[in-house]
């Protein structure tokens, strides 16, 4: 899997039944072996990394990609190019 440019929705939970969704464009990239191992040691199972513009990210806790909801378990950035890396894992059950 290489880099894919798509629109995703960043999510903030407003309450149990309502989300605030912000559509943004993201570069979807696979996670590397080191990230997969480090996340696994903390109980996470990474699905992918989404790179978005730093000014579009406002501490959202999840994202929707291809109709599935994911949890953002780690972020990195903003980097020198203004982008943020959002590391996502598949959401299991209701939180």
- Specify the CATH number of the domain 4-90: 2.40.10
Would the CA dihedral through 38, 27, 7, 52 be positive or negative? Answer: positive
> Residue by residue, what is the 3-state secondary structure of 12-64?
EEEECCEEEEEEEEEEEECCCHHHHHHHHHCCCCEEEEEEEEHHHCCCCCEEE
Q: Which residue has the higher pLDDT, 39 or 90?
A: 90
Query: What residue ranges do the domains of the chain occupy?
Result: 4-90
| 20: nearest Cα among 55, 62, 51 | 62
- Which residue's entry shows tokens 């929707």? 64
Distance CA 85, CA 25 (A): 13
Q: How confident is the model at residue 1 (pLDDT cuts 50, 70, 90)?
A: low
For the stretch 41-79, pLDDT in tens is 777 788 899 999 999 999 999 999 999 999 999 999 999
């Amino acid at each position: 899997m290489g880099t894919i440019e798509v629109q995703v929705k960043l999510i903030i939970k407003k309450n149990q039944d309502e989300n605030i969704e912000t559509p943004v464009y993201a570069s979807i990239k696979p996670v590397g072996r080191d990230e997969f191992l480090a996340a696994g040691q903390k109980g996470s199972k990474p699905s992918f990394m989404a790179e978005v513009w730093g000014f579009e990210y406002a501490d959202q806790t999840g994202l929707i990609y291809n109709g599935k909801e994911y949890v953002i378990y780690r972020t990195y950035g903003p980097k020198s190019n203004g982008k943020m890396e959002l590391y996502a894992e598949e959401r299991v059950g209701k939180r």
